[in-house]
Structure 1
Amino acid sequence: MQRKSLCLALIGAMAFIAGTATAATRVVPFQGPSSSSEQETFGRFIVKYRSGTAQRSDSRKVTSSLNTRVANVFGANKAIRTSHVRRLSANGADVVRTSRKLDMAEAKALMAAIAADPAVESVRIDRLLQHTAAPNDPYYTTYQWDYFNPVGGINAPSAWDAGAKGGGIVVAVLDTGITKHSDLDANALEGYDFISDAFVSGRATDERAPGGADLGDWTTAGMCGANSAAKNSSWHGSHVAGTVAEVTNNGIGMAGVAHNAKILPVRVLGHCGGYDSDIADAVVWASGGHVDGVPDNTQPAEVINMSLGGSGTCSPEMQSAIDGAVSRGTTIVIAAGNDNDDAMNHTPANCRNVITVGATGISARRAFYSNYGTRIDIAAPGGGYNDGANNQENFIWSAGNEGKTVPEKETYMGMVGTSQATPHVAGVVALVQSAVGTPMTPAQVASLLKQTARPFPAPTDRPLGAGIVDANAAVAAATSTVPATLLSNGVARAGITGAAGDELMYMVAVPAGAKLSVLTYGGTGQIKVFAKAGDAPTAQSYDASSQRPGTNQTLTVPTTVAGLYYIKIVGVTAFSGVNIRATF
């Protein structure tokens, strides 16, 4: 009996349907230390009081106000006091020092107490920064253009410099499993082998088995059907896992996008592929759901990477598994496929409630093989022969193995495909989730990634989503301490309404070298508009403004650096039905 396989080695993924993503980014009340800062201590904080408060009017009142709150949190026995260092000229915020250094839990408790004060606009760590440096992994600079190339890369180093490295996040890689590798082992959890067919798994029985080891997916001629070719083992799962979370700054090999995250290897692909039913069960289990006959997963994944697929429609079983995982808070990232075809024709890329990923090369053009269409949410580096990828440096490089059939000596391999693009996005999701105080929902994550994507430098030949995933822009927007609604490049937000004196704040993530233009139009009433880089503008402090009569305002904002730009609409009179569009 010929076995039907669903999944092939180098394919890739699909996305949230229109209307499911939330419009606004969640804004945290304060920005505390990240989970990657567990061994750090903190002694200085930046507190910004609202205009019109007593503390904003007189910095001498800051210390007494803070010490009252400190005593309520820590009590007199801990003897923590604050002192005022200075008021910042840039935005009127106050730098304060604690009488002793605080650990991460104490710092978060202090900041939560300060943020609860209605007079406080924001509070954050006064971070002690060092000069930035590339990871010391020897192949990083030479081969991993996909992380840092200004045209085709994902802007990962800036996100790392901001403290986002994936700490505390689990990313499940549903693939061929992983091999032992000195650049993976420290970040790998014990997974599970979900293949329930001995022919596919290469094990002695049809039973599923603990561990996520890659036993090889080699085939002989005719093994997978008439005229099927013989193939060596791909070690595809190790390659994908390495892009997500290869151990970094260990002085060997290469780097991972979210290198403080943990990988949960779940084996679903073997000889000739993998069954839809096994993959659906693996989605349920990896996200923390129960699967009969398998011990429950004690470390549920916040992110699932599925660099796999086949032709056809999304099965009811797969859709049900995905919906359940999303309901448990797991973001699912899937490769669009490598058939130069509409992704709508490929599953699970065409399932609902997933993030579908297309592939670009170093020039940021669509890779010739990448599936395309309206189902694609976002693009990421997958390597591209159309970029001269016969030159091996334009491949995506990651962990691998030299074995032809079974694992032998560890190595590093270059591959291309939407399979390689997908773990870049999964890694960025891990960076974002590690940086925020409360996990974002899958819908919020999808919206954030699309709204902060870097625009393609030139129109793509086929639709390929919102742009190229930008790690730094996504992390910056997710952790912004200024309450603001995130705008997508070139997409108007309509129907804005307010009263005289109302202030509405928006933000947009702008890449380096871009020119930001802001336009408000339509509706009735009178407004004025202010914009500023990196912080909330005021009527006294802004980089650009437009204050003509009516609602039609236009301003061009100087953009000397990449980052968040804030736009404030102020009602001069009551206004309604106004539109705003930011374009760069």
Structure 2
Amino acid sequence: MQQRSRTTFCLLAAAVAVAMAASPIMAGQRAPLRAVTQPASTAQDGRVDRLIVRYRSGTALRADKTRAAAAVRNAATRSGLAATDARYVRSTATGADVVKLSRPLDRASAAALMRTLRADPNIAHVEPDVRMTHTGAAFAKAPVAARAGATPNLTPNDPYFGQYQWHLHHATGGIRAPSAWNSATGEGVVVAVIDTGIVQHDDIDANVLEGYDFITDAFVSRRETDERVPGAHDYGDWNDDPNQCPVSPSSFHGTHTAGTVAELTNNGLGMAGVAHNAKVLPVRVLGRCGGYMSDIADALVWASGGEVAGVPANENPAEVINMSLGGSGACTAGSEFQTAVDAAVANGSTVVVAAGNYNTNLSQFTPASCAGVIAVGATRITGGKSSFSNYGALVDLSAPGGDSVDGNPNGYVWQNINDSETSPENGQQNYGGMAGTSMSAPHVAGVVAMLQSVAQAPLTPAEVETLLKNTARAFPVNIPSGTPMGVGILDAEAALAGLVPPCQGPDCEPDATPIVNRSPVPGLMGNAGDEQLYSLDVPAGATNLNFLTYGGSGDVTVVVSFNKEPTATEYDLRSSRPGNNETIRIAAPKIGTYYIKLIGVAKFANVTLEARHN
């Protein structure tokens, strides 16, 4: 693997996709989007240039920052590390001190220094202040013009929703968001997204609060000073100097994850978000070549409503915090991350963390292995494990993260993005796809926001975790015992049903997955006797409506009814040819909702459903 000059964590997007078009797209139009897989970033070589040191209560070192740095210098001398100086940088929100070394130490030298420090009776804990970096970049071309919004309904009019956002509505791999929107949309809830910050985008701006930039290194932040500042503008995390870290374009990862949480929905523009009436609090901790753990831990405390020296109080404490980042190393008691998580949970914030993208046990990754977080693995459109996803007993549940083997668009999670490879000012707003556990976590954070928005009293983080795990749906494919991925796949509808009783009576709409005109729904599968229900909203003036199924193996029957759910014996129209090539034609369709049900005559797989009208 390529060696780097610093120990790092990795922002958890394994692959990306590109939105491309020859000319600008106006609202309601579609551009061809194509996927481009990017290699995951390599691990760094373990070199350390900063330490986080926590002193025992009551010691002189804890109160005297000059003596604290001197203690590290003395430990370096005792460890045989000549010419290694240290200076005090700042104190963290958890009560530890950040100390910068005068030169980076290799893995062995850093370990020797920390052993010496741990032997000091004044010191309670010491660890490297490691840095995080991104693992991919997103690109998009063709800005999209905004349109006035409308009241959300079961089938949003966002033009990319049906074809691209399988992760929200697909019967097998999605989270069943549309039916959950009947109960909640996250209104009144704040979701903190601790990430690369955010850039302007018409499809989310109205849901974004002013956040804060917690990066304390001007090289990383691309700002003029090391000071923290209001706002969370993403200046871009590209790097063109291989001596600093691997060369890479900007990711605008925070904008993408924020879109999954709360992209505007049913506004005739782009795509949809899970909790599209929630507010996003962006908190910037990652920039060029990453970001330090100590900054991320402070951001976590602040986002939950805790105090951080030198930073104004957070006027919008977050009920849920999304962290699509992490790196190697177990999260242990007394560590900076665990202490920060404990503080956030004590403040009432549910902390959602991506499991990681190394296809290994997450027990050795932090903060996913911290006690008190909801650790989220990644699944594909098939409902199976994404090839890159970490696994293990500490994974709580899984959510859509994509996998490039499933092709475009089904291999990616799609949201808003900026198309620049450098500064956002050099690009334009658009939409793109990424794959990773980074994408899985904000699906969970969005559902938590939906739950909190309708709960009679705020749910505790423990209550939220229990509810999500109790209502997760079973994996539709076998998950090997050696790679456990939690209790199942996030189910937004079932989770909301745990708080809001399901609709009953003649005025209730059937529980159907919405489809969009001329947007095929591929990959449908089931057993003999299985039923899958879909809905299509037909506008005024539509003609020549056709419902089609085709491809794959097995045998299905299709039944259709207007404004009600069809059954195997009660329906308006039916097609039951041998195999999967079924067609139902309606020359003059009515204005309203048609319900389409696939019934398995025999086991079927890889069947495509499509509705077409003029």
TM-score interval, normalised by the smaller of the two chains? 0.5 to 0.7
Letter in 2 for 1:435: V
> Shift of residue 423 of structure 1?
0.4
Instruction: Measure, in 2, the Cα distance between the counterparts of 1:473 and 1:9.
Output: 27
Aligned residue in 1 for 2:456: 437
Aligned residue in 1 for 2:204: 184
> Shift of residue 2 of structure 1?
4.7
- Pairing 1:385–2:385 present: no
> Shift of residue 221 of structure 1?
4.2
Instruction: Measure, in 1, the Cα distance between the counterparts of 2:6 and 2:196.
Output: 18
- Pairing 1:143–2:146 present: no
Q: Is the 8 A contact 2:214 2:295 kept in 1?
A: yes
Deviations 1:193-231 (A, max 9, x none): 001011111111111111011110001242434xxx310
Q: Is the 8 A contact 2:285 2:295 kept in 1?
A: yes
Aligned to 1:478, the other structure's residue is in SS state: coil
> Shift of residue 394 of structure 1?
2.8
Q: Is the 8 A contact 1:7 1:274 kept in 2?
A: no
Aligned residue in 2 for 1:98: none
- Pairing 1:358–2:377 present: yes
Q: Is the 8 A contact 1:4 1:275 kept in 2?
A: no
Aligned residues: 363
Q: Which of 473, 495, 498 is equivalent to 1:477?
A: 498
Deviations 1:246-280 (A, max 9, x none): 01111101000000000000001111111110000
- Pairing 1:368–2:387 present: yes
Identify unmatched segments of 5+ residues in structure 2: 16-150, 504-528, 532-596, 598-614
Deviations 1:89-145 (A, max 9, x none): xxxxxxxxxxxxxxxxxxxxxxxxxxxxxxxxxxxxxxxxx9964111111111101
Q: 1:132 to 1:295 in 2, by over 3 A?
A: closer
Aligned to 2:197, the other structure's residue is in SS state: coil
Deviations 1:50-70 (A, max 9, x none): xxxxxxxxxxxxxxxxxxxxx
Instruction: Measure, in 2, the Cα distance between the counterparts of 1:472 and 1:421.
Output: 17
Instruction: Measure, in 2, the Cα distance between the counterparts of 1:131 and 1:236.
Output: 26
Aligned to 1:174, the other structure's residue is in SS state: strand
Aligned residue in 1 for 2:228: 208
Deviations 1:407-445 (A, max 9, x none): 020010110000001100000100111111101100000
Instruction: Measure, in 2, the Cα distance between the counterparts of 1:144 and 1:218.
Output: 27
Aligned residue in 2 for 1:193: 213
Instruction: Measure, in 2, the Cα distance between the counterparts of 1:257 and 1:431.
Output: 8
Instruction: Measure, in 2, the Cα distance between the counterparts of 1:338 and 1:438.
Output: 35
Instruction: Measure, in 2, the Cα distance between the counterparts of 1:166 and 1:442.
Output: 16
- Pairing 1:468–2:485 present: no
Q: Which of 140, 163, 176 is equivalent to 1:155?
A: 176
- Pairing 1:321–2:340 present: yes
Q: How does 1:58-457 map to 2 (within 5 A)?
A: 133-162=154-183, 164-225=184-245, 229-314=246-331, 316-386=335-405, 388-389=406-407, 391-407=408-424, 408-457=427-476
Aligned to 2:447, the other structure's residue is in SS state: helix
TM-score between both structures, scaled by the size of structure 1: 0.60
Q: Is the 8 A contact 1:11 1:307 kept in 2?
A: no
Q: Is the 8 A contact 2:380 2:411 kept in 1?
A: yes
Instruction: Measure, in 1, the Cα distance between the counterparts of 2:530 and 2:497.
Output: 18
Aligned residue in 1 for 2:516: none
Deviations 1:323-364 (A, max 9, x none): 111011100000000001101111111111000000001000
Identical positions, percent: 56
Q: 1:480 to 1:223 in 2, by over 3 A?
A: farther
Higher normalized contact order (CA 8 Å, seq sep 6+, divided by chain length): 1
Aligned residue in 1 for 2:13: 10
Instruction: Measure, in 1, the Cα distance between the counterparts of 2:467 and 2:173.
Output: 20
Q: Is the 8 A contact 1:243 1:424 kept in 2?
A: yes
Instruction: Measure, in 1, the Cα distance between the counterparts of 2:212 and 2:5.
Output: 26
Letter in 1 for 2:9: L
Aligned to 1:138, the other structure's residue is in SS state: coil
Q: Is the 8 A contact 2:152 2:265 kept in 1?
A: no
Q: 1:284 to 1:308 in 2, by over 3 A?
A: same
Identify unmatched segments of 5+ residues in structure 1: 13-129, 483-511, 515-560, 562-584
Aligned to 1:454, the other structure's residue is in SS state: coil
> Shift of residue 8 of structure 1?
2.8
Q: 1:131 to 1:231 in 2, by over 3 A?
A: closer
Q: Is the 8 A contact 1:329 1:442 kept in 2?
A: yes
Letter in 1 for 2:399: A
Instruction: Measure, in 2, the Cα distance between the counterparts of 1:370 and 1:353.
Output: 20
> Shift of residue 318 of structure 1?
1.1
Deviations 1:274-330 (A, max 9, x none): 111000000000000000000010000000000001111226111111111101110
Q: Is the 8 A contact 1:367 1:385 kept in 2?
A: no
Instruction: Measure, in 1, the Cα distance between the counterparts of 2:290 and 2:415.
Output: 21
Instruction: Measure, in 2, the Cα distance between the counterparts of 1:404 and 1:481.
Output: 46
Q: Is the 8 A contact 1:9 1:273 kept in 2?
A: no
